[in-house]
Chain A
Amino acid sequence: MNKIKLTIDNKQIEVEKGTTIYKAAKELGIYIPVLCYMNLEGLNIENKPGGCRICVVEVEGRNNLAPSCSTDVWEGMVVNTHSMRVINARRTVMEFILSDHPKDCLTCAKSGNCDLQDMAVKLGVREIPGQEYAEMSTYKIDFSPSIIRDLDKCIMCRRCEMMCNDFQTVGALSAFNRGFEAAVGPAFEMELEDSTCTYCGQCVAVCPTGALTEKDHTRDVINALSDPTKKVVVQTAPAVRAALGEEFGMEPGTLVTGKMVSALRRLGFDYVFDTDFAADLTIMEEGTELLDRLTKYLGGDKEVKLPILTSCCPAWVSFFEHYFPEMKDIPSTARSPQQMFGAIAKTYFADKISTKREDLVVVSIMPCLAKKYEAQRDEFKVDGNPDVDFSISTRELAHLIKEANLDLNILPDEDFDKPLGESSGAGVIFGTTGGVIEAAVRTAYELHTGKKLEKLDFEQLRGFEAIRKATVDFDGTPINIGIAHGLGHARKLLDEIKAGKSEFHAIEIMACPGGCIGGGGQPLHHSDTSILKARAEAIYREDAGKPIRKSHENPYILKLYEEFLGKPMSEKSHHLLHTAYFDKSRKIEIS
């Protein structure tokens, strides 16, 4: 590799050819402020449109200032990152940006967690000259089931557009209008609900301002909890416990399972249950479906659909409904754990506590924004009453806990309630990429071969690589497994299936980078991907420490089948735990 010598702020450095000024400066410990630039290391995600112009620096011999995020270094380059020309330009540009940004920080969902706010503080902006007569660009606020778009706060950093188009290949967001009126949104200024949006929430996860936020359901939860006629049940998704601590100043990767349970109990939930229980149930249903298809296939049935695709991720479900509707009979029909939980809670459990369906409120705590959309899908309602009433994100839960004057740091560890709070390690690892398929393999292997697994950790299925492949030996039968996180990567595997070139028997897909631990409802990572890895490690730690690590050994699952469902894929299971998919492909007609 060619090396290049340059000088930044009077310090010499040698870097590889093709390095940007921003990265070279970082190696010297000089942190040039950036706003639109975003680099998710290890995930191959980089956004550098060079649009905000905050990161400009002075380069000797160049007429104008250079955007450091997108200017490569050259031999002998002399850079000044803090000349008065640069500082004045940076501040003036910041004043421009703020002059077209609402000043409602007090009530903004992003306040205290906003990259723009941090930058305004860093650059010492104290007033915006001419604000009193500066016109602001205004747009209609778009309320979708999961995501709220307030484009008045859009700074055109294009991060959301990059995530939606390049990473997810969903293509719901792109720039529209030009000049002062330019902003990012669905084509023809459609509402998100009318677009191909999957509600994965990755746009929200990277938005530096309050332009994209989750639809907040905390008020609904407070209302339910304060209604004496309602029994309120809560379920917590596996990825939440690995990230919630961050909102309370804990190190990324801190597990707060017990503290989260006690916080929920103190908030007033009548029963604190675990989505992991439903994850075990998912494995029973999905694993059985996999084995069923596999057995038929190995028996010579040419009609059987393989590979089977996981169906836990609601954004992924929306994705294939929008883009691959012709393949909607390939994914498993098993509902997601959130919806299985809701269906069981409002039947089996409601009966147990002699409560009518209408008087039972099911709240889910999810790392995900698509779960909000999933919860209100028509097929998951009975006479208009949803199986899951409200789905709130990890961030929203943190707000609720803080509002109740609780400090997660000093809360005692408590256990989930029974019966829907017991789970195996297999249910826990649902929260990270590769986890669902590993959990399925643990059960499918033992059910298929009748033998006990000697080693439960399938290292070959773990990791952060975009698309992973592994072959698991089912006692002489090699089973090819594919894993993808990120819908763009999923698209590649789907295209292979469509072309009849897929080598896999089973594929796990999660929409978000790293899986649910990197979900759109998680505490914001602010481009630090080491946080995602720490969360994944925490999930595997929780699994390793569980006494039961296989779904089919969860005694409460076995009891549920015995008392209520019969067996996996039974008629009752089909009715409560399985679903169907719909063709949601959109055709835009231009008249």
Chain B
Amino acid sequence: MTNLGGSKMSQHKQIRIALNNCGVIDPENIKEYIARDGYLALGKCLTEMKPEDIIREIKDSGLRGRGGGGFPAGLKWEIAAKNQADQKYVVCNADEGDPGAFMDRSILEGDPHAVLEAMAICGYSMGATKGLIYIRAEYPLAIERLKIAIEQAREFGLLGKNLFGTDFEFDIEIRYGAGAFVCGEETALIHSMEGLRGEPTIKPPYPAESGYFGKPTNVNNVETYANVPIILRKGANWFNKIGTEKSKGTKVFALAGKIKNVGLVEVPMGTTLREVIYEIGGGIENDKKFKAVQTGGPSGGCLTEKHLDTPIDFDNLVQAGSMMGSGGMIVMDEDNCMVSVAKFYLEFTVEESCGKCSPCRIGNKRLYELLDRITQGKGEMEDLKRLRNMSNVIKDTSLCGLGQTSPNPVLSTLDNFYDEYVAHVVDKKCIAGQCKDLMTYFVIEENCVGCTACARVCPVGAITGEKKEVHYINPEICIKCGACEERCKFDAIIVK
């Protein structure tokens, strides 16, 4: 069954819309989905509604794309509907690539029919008869359940020809991604499905005008689709009462990091970070001090104490210097070095850049190198200016969303934790104690009894001292492995 977070996770403040059926129904049995009003929305759409009514309903609901961009879903459908063509496509982006995010996988594993139903509804509203699900091959269980779901839907006449006795036909195929993060970008995703190199192209033209093999194509992600059937069952007015003025409904977050309860949470838009972290997440692990929360996946930013009472929605997060992304939420405590955090995320984007445009291909690498030097104590104050300039230029000039957001972890940590950068550069200190190169091991003379245990465990012979005499660690030789500190029974070795 789908992992929906620890058992201690508070359901208080959560509303389940996208995750409505997850963990409740047997995803391999279409009857259980139908029993929970499944395919009711599709039936209603096909027999009672015109395509334009559906689009209006989705527009009125205020549903925005949950993949990261937050583009109004109804508007996207409308553009695709208006573009005339002999063939159009509905694509589901299930290339969930943010490390630590697994809400799309959970939906596909726990409630695959919701996505199939939504895609058929979308197809009817825009005039498409073919659906494609682009899913990463690393999700074997989700793929298996999708296959079963598609097969069962066909058997029940819910995919295929003459759906609900109408002329409308719709069927869905699965396409596999090979694990490239950039293929979550819609133009790159389409290229990958066409058998081309997974690289983005300049928009416009948008996929809604010219997508899969040049045909109008609507691309939404899994979670967006999962909201659609329930919106059409309960009405736009039900949905748009949930959330904030510009961000309606709920959002699923993958809560992780230094937090007591980790897992998926689904909260109404407008819930504050504090509520998510402390009330649902149960607070910081080991009751340490909260330091930052990183939202939006590898391209998001790090928010601090002062942002804890910010209501979470698309626009507020961007304004605070981060973003919604696909809903990653990683909590950090006082032991996390923020320079290292930025470096960690840059390492990911360097690895995942497709290499098409120079600022992303080379610029991110240079950002990473500079951060690496700073964590090694080789940084200079001038480098901090360069970090900021390079970050701004990469954001300003990159071709696709990956490069346009990849410097966010650097910029947000520079904004919110500048002192920590300065400490690395000027004092050559890592306050969080994470940057090995900046640490020194000392013997506290009054605690040392001269037992020689530390000298014996040191792999490089950096510790000297006679038996029953105070020992000494030679910083020139020490490789900072920490073995001595661990071995010492008298708390005589500390690291600073």
Contacts and interface: CB of A to CB of B under 8 A. Distances in A.
B366 A134 contact: yes
Q: Which of B204, B351, B361, B364 has the most CB of A within 10 A?
A: B361
A130 B371 CA distance: 12
B376 to A, nearest CB: 10
Contact of B350 (A64, A72, A180): A180
Interface string A177-210: 1111110000000000000000000000000000
B348 to A, nearest CB: 11
A53 B399 contact: yes
B355 A175 contact: yes
A471 interface: no
Interface in A59-79: 64-65, 67, 70-72
A253 B390 CA distance: 46
B362 interface: yes
A564 interface: no
A180 B403 CA distance: 13
A97 interface: yes
A523 interface: no
Contacts of B370: 130
B204 A72 contact: yes
A590 to B, nearest CB: 14
B487 interface: no
A178 B180 contact: yes
Contact of B361 (A49, A92, A182): A182
Interface string B401-423: 00010000000000000000000
A52 B373 CA distance: 27
Main SS of chain B's interface residues? helix
Interface string A134-149: 1100000000000000
A88 B389 contact: yes
Interface residues of A, number: 36
Given A89-B396, A92-B389, A130-B366, A181 B355 contact: yes
Nearest to B197: A175
Contacts of A72: 204
B366 A96 contact: yes
A71 B361 CA distance: 21
Nearest to A52: B358
Contacts of A180: 350, 353, 355, 361-362, 365
B204 A51 contact: no
B199 interface: yes
Contacts of B202: 50, 67, 70-71
Contacts of A93: 358-359, 363, 393, 397
A178 B354 CA distance: 5
B395 interface: yes
A65 B397 contact: yes
A537 interface: no
Q: Which of A65, A92, A133 has the most CB of B within 10 A?
A: A92
A100 interface: yes
Interface size class of B (residues with CB under 8 A): 35 or more
Contacts of A71: 202
B354 A182 contact: yes
Contacts of A99: 362, 366
Given A50-B202, A177-B355, A181-B355, A130 B362 contact: no
A174 B197 contact: yes
Contacts of A96: 358-359, 362-363, 366
B132 to A, nearest CB: 23
Nearest to B349: A179
B44 interface: no
Given A65-B397, A96-B366, A155 B358 contact: yes
A53 B355 CA distance: 12
B204 A53 contact: no
A89 B358 contact: no
B437 interface: no
A64 B395 contact: yes
Nearest to B382: A129
A67 B399 CA distance: 8
A65 B356 contact: no
Contacts of A85: 396
A49 B354 CA distance: 13
Q: Which of A65, A85, A100, A179 has the most CB of B within 10 A?
A: A179
A56 B397 contact: yes
Contacts of B398: 53, 64
A51 B393 contact: no
B361 A179 contact: yes
Contacts of A64: 395-398, 404
Contacts of B389: 88, 92
B352 interface: yes
Contacts of B373: 133
Interface of B: 180, 182, 197, 199, 201-202, 204, 350-359, 361-366, 369-370, 373, 386, 389-390, 393, 395-399, 404
7 A-B pairs with the lowest CB-CB distances in the bound complex, closest first: A182-B355, A179-B353, A96-B362, A92-B393, A53-B397, A50-B202, A180-B365
19 contacts: A50-B357, A51-B356, A52-B357, A53-B357, A53-B358, A53-B397, A53-B398, A56-B397, A64-B397, A65-B396, A70-B202, A92-B363, A92-B393, A96-B359, A134-B366, A134-B369, A174-B197, A179-B361, A181-B355
Interface of A: 49-53, 56, 64-65, 67, 70-72, 85, 88-89, 92-93, 96-97, 99-100, 129-130, 133-135, 155-156, 174-175, 177-182
Given A56-B396, A93-B363, A178-B355, 20 more contacts: A49-B201, A51-B357, A51-B358, A52-B357, A65-B396, A65-B397, A67-B399, A71-B202, A88-B393, A89-B393, A89-B397, A93-B358, A93-B359, A93-B393, A134-B365, A134-B369, A175-B355, A179-B354, A179-B365, A180-B350
